[in-house]
Amino acid sequence: MSSANIAFRKKIYRPVEELQVDMDAWPARYNEQRPHSGRYCYGKTPMQSFRETLHIARDKTITASDPSDSRQPILSTEC
């Protein structure tokens, strides 16, 4: 069961706006405050893991060969 399922079952929300406040705050708590036990996170938060490996994603970014191409660069999924 995900942490969202547990968190939102502990409180009864009367107006939908009250639920929206908690829903808006949840991604920050999930990504920036709670340590993750995933295989490559080693107890860091997901945002810490992302920031520490951003240089790898940038190294694997493929840039458009046509300078007039205004699309965003594509991240390669190859290892």
What percent of the chain clears pLDDT 90, i.e. is strictly above it?
19
Q: Can you tell me the mean pLDDT for 48-62?
A: 87
pLDDT grade for 63, boundaries at 50, 70 and 90: low
Q: Return the number of other C-beta atoms located less than 10 Å from residue 23's C-beta.
A: 13
Beta bridge partners of 61: 75
Asked if 22 and 11 touch (Cβ cutoff 8 Å), the reply is yes
Instruction: Single out the residue of 43, 19, 8, 45 nearest to residue 30, CA to CA.
Output: 45
E strands, 1-79, in order: 61-62, 74-75
More confident site: 9 or 6: 9
Q: What is the pTM of this model?
A: 0.52
The pair of three-digit structure tokens given for residue 9, joined into one six-digit string: 């079952």
The pair of three-digit structure tokens given for residue 52, joined into one six-digit string: 């520490």
| Average pLDDT of the residues of the chain | 78
Give the pLDDT confidence score for residue 79 in this predicted structure.
44
